[in-house]
């Protein structure tokens, strides 16, 4: 018989090893249980992270807050921990009636470990729910975006959704500038995000919005809008479009008439386009103030005749063509240049390309697929192609700014940056002539109702018949007025639109000279002092 001898020390070591292994296994299990008890589920972690995204503060050019984050509390439930669904549903419904019992029961019956019940509650509602002592529910702090200026800046700033992600306006543009990337690495917090400083002057914006609000009712219009542009720097000082929306109520922004008419809608601009036609004739055909165009007879285009509204039925100088807003004379200006050069000029001045701006809501201009002499004739007085009011204002600004067009921006811009965004579109001679013509129109022409004593305002009206069901409709107008000041060397362009006015008083009329021009004049009166413009009454001349 063989006896196996086990050394006493070796046996003790093995027993100790086994015990150690068991301790390690149970310790691991224990730590895992603790971990799972303390750490949220992946779903819950995702929702928590999603609800905590910070956004930068948005300021006007003078430091006034246009958008900022505040802390709000949202209600969630953990269905797996709820034993009496009916009781929880009834208690929550009594405090938040907007949450129907059916909706609550469906969410509380979920197999999910975490469901949202209501987002961004008021403190009063949160306190009521806490005092009710409802089992299986809780509150999670998250960020809510607020807009102190409300509707006044709605079409500029835009809005965010319930998860604090931008869905329109500057808010959406900001999200496209890399903020999502820094969110994913955990750096998107209030301390790490520099404020976004806009070009907007909230004082001017308030005045613009207020006057447009009054005009919307007074003119019985489908919509109104306006933009005030510093043509030296390209900075948009104010921009508004009505009807508008309250950014705290996102569903209102989805209504079809709440689009931004200044940037997101392309329209035929009417006679205001004669600014470009006249500049083109000077730039490309060598015309000057005394160049003669025969406006004696209408011009036949297909089956239609191009006529003048108040025709002089005689040859007109270039100055008279602009002052009397002659369609016939403008058509001859275009014909003197040629079809190809005409379209090229409109491209170079920015009317036919989609404009670049810090807004997602930018419409693409519309033009005929093939340009012909009839196309050029109608385009000469603002029909047959559509562009946005903003790019019309920018192009006019470029012509009047000694021929230098500066790209527009909604961000406060330094002078060095301005230089990088500028390009020449006409020479100084053409610019000087157009400045003279704008001033003449405001003193003697259809822009008289926008002329403000001492400010040397210049302007041009545009009344375009709207296209309804494929045809031009009589007495359905899209009215535009462009004003600039001071005309010796303009710094600011105002462009105002009145869409489809139907004034109750017949004396109001429906043309741009009777709607958009006086509206522009009132806005200028309310805003010029904020722009550091001082009236000067000595040495006034045309």
Per CATH, the homologous superfamily of domain 48-197 is Penicillin-binding protein 2a (Domain 2) (3.90.1310.10)
Which of 26-40, 79-93, 323-337 has the highest average model confidence (pLDDT)? 323-337
Mean pLDDT of the residues in the chain: 88
Tokens 């009236």, located at residue: 535
Rounded CA gap, 409 and 366, in Å? 23
Q: What is the pLDDT of residue 160?
A: 93
Tokens 């806009």, located at residue: 198
**Contact predicate 89/101, CB 8 Å:** yes
Would strands 196-197 and 58-59 be described as parallel, antiparallel, or unpaired? parallel
Q: What is the mean pLDDT of residues 179-208?
A: 80
**Contact predicate 152/240, CB 8 Å:** yes
Q: Count the alpha carbons within 13 Å of 72 in the hemisphere toward its beta carbon.
A: 21
More confident residue, 536 or 485: 485
Q: Is the omega angle on the peptide bond into residue 340 within 30 degrees of 0, that is, cis? A: no
Q: What is the pLDDT of residue 174?
A: 93
pLDDT for 13 beyond 50: no
Which tens digit of pLDDT belongs to each residue from 395-420? 999 999 999 999 999 999 987 777 77
pLDDT for 499 beyond 80: yes
Q: What is the mean pLDDT of residues 355-379?
A: 96
Q: What is the pLDDT of residue 111?
A: 81
Q: Which of 295, 293, 275 is nearest to 283 (CA)?
A: 275
Hey, which CATH number is domain 203-531, 3.40.50.150, 3.40.710.10, 3.40.50.720, 1.10.260.40?
A: 3.40.710.10
Q: What is the pLDDT of residue 507?
A: 53
Q: What is the mean pLDDT of residues 112-133?
A: 89
More confident residue, 269 or 417: 269
Which tens digit of pLDDT belongs to each residue from 450-469? 999 999 999 999 999 888 88
**Contact predicate 212/498, CB 8 Å:** no
Rounded CA gap, 357 and 409, in Å? 6
Q: Count the alpha carbons within 13 Å of 53 in the hemisphere toward its beta carbon.
A: 21
Which tens digit of pLDDT belongs to each residue from 275-311? 999 999 999 999 999 999 999 999 998 888 999 988 8
Instruction: List all residues 6 or more positions away from 529 whose beta carbon is below 8 Å from its beta carbon.
Output: none
Element (H, E) at 483: strand 471-485
Catalytic site residue 20? no
Q: What is the pLDDT of residue 183?
A: 61
Q: What is the pLDDT of residue 29?
A: 52
Strand partners, 472: 467
Question: pTM for this one?
Answer: 0.85
pLDDT band at 42 (very low <50, low <70, confident <90, very high): very low
pLDDT for 335 beyond 90: yes
Q: Which residue among 271, 325, 376, 441 is the active-site one?
A: 271
Q: Could you tell me the residue ranges of all domains in the chain?
A: 48-197, 203-531
């Amino acid at each position: 018989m063989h006896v196996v001898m086990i050394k006493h020390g070796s046996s003790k070591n093995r027993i100790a090893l086994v015990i150690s292994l068991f301790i390690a296994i149970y310790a691991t299990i224990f730590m895992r249980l603790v971990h799972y008890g303390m750490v949220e589920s992946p779903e819950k972690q995702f929702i928590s992270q999603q609800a905590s995204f910070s956004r930068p503060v948005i300021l006007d050019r003078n430091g006034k807050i246009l958008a900022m984050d505040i802390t709000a509390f949202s209600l969630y439930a953990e269905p797996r921990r709820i034993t009496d669904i009916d009781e929880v549903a009834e208690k929550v419904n009594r405090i938040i009636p907007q949450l129907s019992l059916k909706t609550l029961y469906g969410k509380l019956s979920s197999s999910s470990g975490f469901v949202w019940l209501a987002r961004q509650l008021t403190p009063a509602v949160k306190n009521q729910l806490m005092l009710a002592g409802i089992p299986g529910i809780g509150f999670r702090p998250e960020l809510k975006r607020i807009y102190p200026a409300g509707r006044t800046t709605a079409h500029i700033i835009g809005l965010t959704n319930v998860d604090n992600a931008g869905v329109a306006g500057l808010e959406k543009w900001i999200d496209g500038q890399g903020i999502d990337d820094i969110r994913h690495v955990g750096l998107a917090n209030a301390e790490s995000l520099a404020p976004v400083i806009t070009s907007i002057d909230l004082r001017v914006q308030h005045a613009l919005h207020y006057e447009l609000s009054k005009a919307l009712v007074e003119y019985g219009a489908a919509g109104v809008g306006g933009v005030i542009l510093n043509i030296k720097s390209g900075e948009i000082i104010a921009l508004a479009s009505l009807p508008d929306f309250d950014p705290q109520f996102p569903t209102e922004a989805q209504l079809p008439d709440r689009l931004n008419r200044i940037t997101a809608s392309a329209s035929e601009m009417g006679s205001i386009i004669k600014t470009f036609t006249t500049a083109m004739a000077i730039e490309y055909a060598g015309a000057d103030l005394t160049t003669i165009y025969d406006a004696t007879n209408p011009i036949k285009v297909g089956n239609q005749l191009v006529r003048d509204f108040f025709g002089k039925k005689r040859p007109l100088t270039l100055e008279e063509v602009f002052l009397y807003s002659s369609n016939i004379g403008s058509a001859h200006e275009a014909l003197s240049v040629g079809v190809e050069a005409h379209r090229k000029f409109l491209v170079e001045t920015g009317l036919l390309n989609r404009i670049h701006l810090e807004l997602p809501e930018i419409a693409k201009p519309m033009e005929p697929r093939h340009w012909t002499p009839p196309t050029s004739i109608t385009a000469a007085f603002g029909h047959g192609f559509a562009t946005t009011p903003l790019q019309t204002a920018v192009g006019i600004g470029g012509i009047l700014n000694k021929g230098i067009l500066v790209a527009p921006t909604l961000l406060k811009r330094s002078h060095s940056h301005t230089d990088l965004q500028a390009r020449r579109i006409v020479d100084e001679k053409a610019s000087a002539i157009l400045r003279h013509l704008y001033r003449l129109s405001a003193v003697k022409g259809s822009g008289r109702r926008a002329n403000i004593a001492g400010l040397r305002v210049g302007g041009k009206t545009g009344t375009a018949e709207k296209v309804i069901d494929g045809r031009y409709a009589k007495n359905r107008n899209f009215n535009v007025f462009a004003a600039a000041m001071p005309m010796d060397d303009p710094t600011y362009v105002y462009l105002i639109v009145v869409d489809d006015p139907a004034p109750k008083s017949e004396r109001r009329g429906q043309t741009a000279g009777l709607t958009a021009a006086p509206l522009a004049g009132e806005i200028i009166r309310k805003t010029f002092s904020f722009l550091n413009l001082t009236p000067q009454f000595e040495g006034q001349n045309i």
